[in-house]
Structure 1
Amino acid sequence: MRSEKATSAAEPREAMPADPRTGFRSGFACFVGRPNVGKSTLMNALVGTKVAITSDRPQTTRRAIRGIVHRPDAQLVIVDTPGLHKPRTLLGERLDSLVRSTLTEVDVIGFCVPADQPIGRGDRFIARELANVRRTPVVAIVTKTDLAAPEQIAAQLLAVQELGDFADIVPCSAESGFQVDVVADLLISHLPEGAALYPEGDLTDEPEQVLVAELVREAALEGVRDELPHSIAVVVEEMAPREGRDDLVDVYAHLFVERPSQKGIIIGHRGSRLKAVGAKARRQIEALLGTKVYLDLHVKVAKDWQRDPKQLRRLGFYD
């Protein structure tokens, strides 16, 4: 995995030397859709490993995270974006701005609509937004087919067809693997011919410290009240091998919430919930880093951080 992050949603750190293979394609795709339609799960399935956290809570994704798919005939860089929604906070406004800028930078857009839920206002809103992105082909992807009956999937495909003039429409399930390869084929078919953009073996360009913070946040999201996920932010303050040990990494992280009552929810009775969060996150971080991890978590209150420009910058959400 990369240790440096590129500065733009669709801008690699450096281009690879020209590829002598004729017909090789490379470029960027992004997934867009309303919150909680399976965008991150689908990206992980395409990449073949976990590069984006997932949750059944809306608005889990807060960054444009890139996953890299390597094939003999192509390199597909997938940008997973936050769900488009009507923003109610400054953080929401910045996330929406991030999505809109990403749409103008990629070679193909994957519009994700779940098979198990009726078409709603959010889907129609995004379809109208995509109609204005005239130069970029859009592939409509009906996700979560494992949760829907065949007749429900067929009806959803017809309903999606009515939403816009899409280059392709494809059903798939990231959970079961159904037609994930077909999704890759369709996205790659819209990429330009060109050399690989990232070295063979790179699966993401997210810094490890950011990935570790996201894994902690994913663990904290599990089992909390509906309103709490939007209020959780995680910052890794320090991460380094322990002095004199080459088999142990110390990670010190802060979980930020907006109110003292939320701090109590995260910590739980006598610290039980925070211990469970730490245990789950540590296992995931050890799998990511390939070494044992000492994880030290502390919960802090940053009052109304989602609406405070100064605190948003401190927590990594820039203008």
Structure 2
Amino acid sequence: MPKKSGGKASKKEKATQDESTEKVYRLYRKNLQASGLVMPRKLAEKFLQLRDEKNPGDLNELVVWEEMTSEGMRALAEALKEYDYKFLKEIHLWGAKIEDEGIRALSHYLISNASVTSLDLTNCSIGPLGCEFIGNIFGAGSRNFISKFKLDYNEIGDKGFEMLSEAFRINTTLFELSLGYCQITQESARHLFEVIINKKSQLKSLNLQGNHLRNHGVTILFRGLTVNISIESIDLSDNQFGEEDGVIEAFKNLIKSNRKIKFLNFSFNGFYEEGAQKILEFISMMTENELEQAISLMSLKLPEKVPNELLKAIEKAIKDNKLKKGKTKGKKKGKKKGKKKK
């Protein structure tokens, strides 16, 4: 008897889902027609598949890699919000050119949505104003559970990052954040620091590739990371910083203090033989010093300008640290003795 009841409930639920998707499609198409626009080809094909009478489905993943425009994004976002669409899980827009007004419309849907977990807005012509609306998505008043966010190749600059930082420094849902090639400079160092020291943050991966943090910005970032307790991977490739003494010292303090960081990428920056040698000596010292714990670092990528034998030596030093510190820890545990018999 219970099985029959469950079956009926499932059929009823499926019918509701199909109806919801159909309603979103119809309103989206109506909104497009009112603006004199056409649906992106791949999205039209997706809806055709979902609306198959024999095997209907729901829109779980929104993928667009052609120009959509802000008006086109508004047409879809309004339809999603109108029916409080709960089945969309991932949004991937690549080169869709939705601009600031497009993300404004999408934010109205996402602020109250609890189903979307991944948001990718790569190269969508979003600027500083759009960051204000993105901040609303990730800010205190939002009810979403987005864990992955990518904003690569949008020229948001320091003004845009300042708006984002107001939300990111209190956010507790993000696990992966990618802001590659966003024109962020050392002027954003303080705001980046405030994001990094958020003790309630769940952020594990941070991509800042292709920005302009330079020595000052990276040094401030490293200082924040000394107290961070969540981040495991950071990509700082192509950020115009190098082996300046302040950077090297900040790096050393980071490795000594942080017990979470595992992967660092310094590729396409100003590191040469001298700086790499200092890093090697530091890691070796951490291994030989019995008072120091094992470092958490597992991989450090340096520029190809560093001699290959030195790169291999650093890689080996990191592995040796794990091996030797692991053995030392085992010996200390084995040295525990029971009480001597009188």
Return the TM-score normalized by structure 2: 0.23
Greater RCO structure (CA 8 Å; 6+ sep): 1
Richer in helix (by share): 2
How high is the TM-score relative to the length of structure 1? 0.24
